[in-house]
Structure 1
Amino acid sequence: MHVDEQWVGVSSRYLGVEIVASILTAVVLCAICVPFILLQTWFGWPALGVAIVLSVVLLVLAPRRVRAIGYVLRADDLLFKRGIMWHRVVAVPYGRMQLIDINRGPVARALGLSELKFVTAAASTGVTIPGLPEQTADELRDRLVALAETRRVGL
């Protein structure tokens, strides 16, 4: 990576999507514990305690997870990063992009956000950039399609 590269982060509104996902996870974790509490098993209440602690940790770390996501357009590829503990940095060469897909889930759509998904020949290099404003996602998709076409001509 070059020092002069400017990473572009996702929209701060994406935090809303992460919070909703964290709350839904918390509800599911707590709901799993309810039958064990009702059956009066010895681990029902401790499991609920663990579920609540995990839920709080997810909510507390949500802003940091959002800030850890970013991308940079370089001369020959797109560089994508994410992760707090397990950092993932992926370079996707423009010439290898086969499909650029825009997805808008219900919560993201309500917040005016999209996610951009890149499909390449190698399944392991699938990259998804969440939390992009809709217009930014559309413009980035068009730009990347054009870049991919110019790079593919030489193949």
Structure 2
Amino acid sequence: MSIESTPAFDVAGVEWHRVSPRLIPVRMISAAVFLGLPSVGSVWPAWYVGGWMWLVPALLALLTVWVLWLIPRQVKAIGYAEQEEDLLIRKGVMFKTLTMVPYGRMQYVDVSAGPIARRMKIAQVQLHTASAGTDASIPGLPQDEAGRLRDQLSARGEARLAGL
């Protein structure tokens, strides 16, 4: 059995939707800012002190390269599927998660986007449920799809909640 086909994460008859590939550069820019800049900034102290201090920029640079290599794989692993009674969200390359959110447990749905995501015309849909432990999010959706999904999930949640 391969790593890709794990029975715990396979749902029969489900059509998975992928997030936008524009999420890749958004995450890469964030990684470059939060890891790349400290890596470059640590070169001057390493040059000044010398010796073992060169380990700091070297390790930060190595971590930056690894994260930039990993981001496209992480984005390609994100998917969601709308079913009759619940929303399925899967994430993860090495550490996989499959979240099933029943429509009847949704309290409200947020759509958010930072400045880089807005420039790339993508947004994140955040689901808030009756249980804080089951809140879920779908990052990297095109803005029109995020709006459609927000409206669809809100309508389904209200319909299921009204039936209780």
Q: TM over 0.5: same fold? A: yes
Alignment of 1:4-153 (within 5 A): 4-30=13-39, 33-34=42-43, 36-37=45-46, 40=49, 42-153=51-162
2:163 partner letter: G
Q: TM-score, normalised by structure 2?
A: 0.86
1: distance between equivalents of 2:95 and 2:159?
Answer: 34
Distance 1:32 1:91, change over 3 A: farther
1:66 partner letter: V
Unpaired runs of 5+ residues, structure 2, are 1-9
Task: Give 1:24 deviation, angstroms.
Answer: 1.3
Task: Give 1:35 deviation, angstroms.
Answer: 6.9
2: distance between equivalents of 1:100 and 1:32?
Answer: 40
Q: Which runs of 4+ in 1 moved over 3 A?
A: 31-36
1:112 partner letter: K
Distance 1:43 1:33, change over 3 A: farther
2: distance between equivalents of 1:61 and 1:23?
Answer: 13
Query: When the two structures are aligned, how many residues end up with a matched partner?
Result: 155
Deviation by residue 1:75-121 (Cα, 9 ceiling, x = unmatched): 11101111111111111110010110000110000011110000112
Task: Give 1:122 deviation, angstroms.
Answer: 1.5
Q: TM-score, normalised by structure 1?
A: 0.91
2:39 partner letter: C
RMSD: 1.8
1:100 partner letter: V
